[in-house]
Amino acid sequence: MSPELSNSPHLVHSQFVRFMFVIMDTLFLVKEISASILIFLVTLLSIRTLFKRRGRKLPPGPRGWPVVGALPLMGSMPHVTLANMAKKYGSVMYLKMGSNNMVVASTPAAARAFLKTLDQNFSNRPPNAGATHLAYDAQDMVFAEYGSRWKLLRKLSNLHMLGGKALDEWGKVREEEMGQMLGSMYECSKKGEAVVVPEMLTYSMANMIGQVILSRRVFETKGSDSNQFKDMVVELMTVAGYFNIGDFIPFLAKLDLQGIQRGMKHLHNKFDVLLTNMIQDHVASKHKRTNKPDFLDMVMAHYGGEHDAHGDKLSLINVKALLLNLFTAGTDTSSSIIEWSLAEMLKNPSIMKKAHEEMDKVIGRERRLKESDIANLPYFQAICKETYRKHPSTPLNLPRISNQPCQVNGFYIPENTRLSVNIWAIGRDPQVWDKPLEFKPERFLSGRNKMIDPRGNDFELIPFGAGRRICAGTRMGIVLVHYILGTLVHSFDWKVPLEVGELNMDEAFGLALQKKVPLAALVTPRLTPNAYIP
């Protein structure tokens, strides 16, 4: 194009007109955006005002950070952080956790409102990395959606392993494994060796559960295999309890900023190999078993194929996920309670002395404790309740999520709000318990506290949760704690090794509340020698 043409008045006018149209379009766009923002703000203000007018105000809670919300406030001990927050904000507390709503109940009344009154509305678990990467994408009993599959897994577990009748039927297994444990501890006492309590408990309890599920002991000898299994269980319970950023800010999930999902996948692979081998060995040895069908036999009767699961049929993944639940939760939660209880008695020798006196009076020293003796040991039962109160195995319970909007204590709880019940905070609330930081079994020997039961109906003491998603192994957990802890207390005098000095009572947070420093103690036999023969 020639310079003359490019400078013609008509062209300049045309360019100017186009420029003005661009300016006008831009101004119109800015005006539209401004109007949209104004409409959004007015609408938001109107909704907030409407909620307030209708009593739909959210519960009080801390101001979070942009995008991440209250996640950075949690720290390494979320149950303690949330308990301290509840002192300021109240029994029902709201937090924005990334893009998710979360509500925390911190008193018995608040727990009752969510887990009893609104139990059906909070019958599901929120999606999270633990369910996806550890529990076979929520194909287990713990994380499964509330529905027919969950009901079938729960029914099979209660009928053949966890229910009252099933527990009675495998009482002989508990007695035999307890004999093995006592024999091993007796040998340690003769050598002057300290007993590492969590290792001993995991080994024995895994073998108890193994005999019921597979008709065989999982570990024939205590050593590297059983210790590795214990480490895997502790790791699972620890990582499953982490506040994973990806669970609360979904677009960051793939980045795995904390490396949590990477660790979960690696751990899952190790468990999957273990569980696959268990099932394959069990199927291969079926022709050799002449005793009555075991738990896995009963579950496999509902097997519909490797990936096929419909109606009353289970897939191979469902079976493996269920075994994962039973072996991990069955060993870890009960063993942590027993370890904490022994540690508290070592810190308070007068309590151990009273327990010994009661047991000597009821049982004597000529035989081992039997499960039928527990009913006649009220002080020992009080020790167990006091441990559930002060050291609940799942401090924040397992999370739930609301299916629909609801109201609690006059506060509006939106749909898809995550619920955490701070069982640890309830157990240490001075409004509920006198001198809650002290370990005092006597509090359960008189008054209303004497009638409190830990099975989910008395919300002052709900170590296993409550409602329809209460821990399926509640009965089994109580039986194991009573029998194993009672036998250990009755059979031995306990002492902290001199080199340990002051007993460390620090906690390590996870799905289950572990002792930060595993308990190791010296034991001295109290009974006649024949009581320690397996």
Q: Which two tokens stand for residue 40?
A: 């959004």
Mean pLDDT over 23-32 rounds to 51
Q: Convert 58-81 to b/e letters by CB count within 10 Å (16 or more is b).
A: bbebeebeeebbbbebbeebbbbb
Residue 523 pairs in a beta bridge with: 494
What pLDDT is recorded for position 534?
A: 81
Share of the chain above pLDDT 90, in %: 78
DSSP state of 400: E
Mind listing the pLDDT tens digit for each residue in 92-133?
999 999 999 999 999 999 999 999 999 999 999 999 999 999
> pTM of the prediction?
0.87
User: So what's the pLDDT on residue 46?
Assistant: 40
| CATH of the structural domain 75-532, one choice from 3.40.50.720, 3.90.550.10, 1.20.120.80, 1.10.630.10 | 1.10.630.10
Percent of the chain at pLDDT > 70 equals: 89
pLDDT above 80 for 225: no
Please write the tens of the pLDDT for every residue from 462-513.
999 999 999 999 999 999 999 999 999 999 999 999 998 899 999 999 888 9
Binding-site residue numbers for heme are 471
Q: Which token pair is 309? A: 């699961």
The strand pairing partners of 524, in sequence order, are 493
The pLDDT value recorded for residue 11 is: 42
DSSP state of 72: G
d(CA 176, CA 195): 20
Binding site, residues? Answer: 471
DSSP 145: P
Q: State pLDDT tens for residues 364-414.
A: 999 999 999 999 999 999 999 999 999 999 999 999 999 999 999 999 999
Q: Which two tokens stand for residue 429?
A: 């609330």
For the chain, what are the domain ranges?
3-54, 75-532
pLDDT of res. 288: 81
User: Of the candidates 459, 407, 415, which has an alpha carbon nearest to the alpha carbon of residue 59?
Assistant: 407
Is pLDDT larger for residue 496 or for residue 2?
Answer: 496
Bridge partners (DSSP) listed for residue 65: 69
Q: What is the pLDDT of residues 31-64, one digit of tens each?
A: 555 544 544 443 444 444 444 435 589 999 999 9
Q: Three-state SS across 337-379?
A: HHHHHHHHHHHCHHHHHHHHHHHHHHCCCCCCCCHHHHHHCHH
Output the pLDDT for position 409.
Answer: 93
Residue 286 binned pLDDT confidence (cut-offs 50, 70, 90) = confident
Selection from 446, 471, 469 nearest residue 385 by Cα: 446
The residues near 223 (Cβ < 8 Å, ≥ 6 apart) are none
pLDDT at 309 over 90: no
Pairwise pLDDT comparison (285 vs 524), residue with the higher score: 524
Average pLDDT, integer, range 523-532? 96
Which residues, 6+ apart, have CB-to-CB distance to 491 below 8 Å?
182, 185, 368, 369, 525, 526, 527, 531, 532
Helix (H, G, I), strand (E, B) or coil at 146: coil
Burial of 253 (0-12, 13-18, 19+ CB in 10 A): middle
Is residue 220 scored above 90 in pLDDT? no
Query: If you write DSSP's letter for every residue of 227-271 in order, what string do you get?
Result: HHHHHHHHHHHHHTTS--HHHHSGGGGGG-TTSHHHHHHHHHHHH
Instruction: Determine the pLDDT at residue 312.
Output: 79
pLDDT at 3: 40
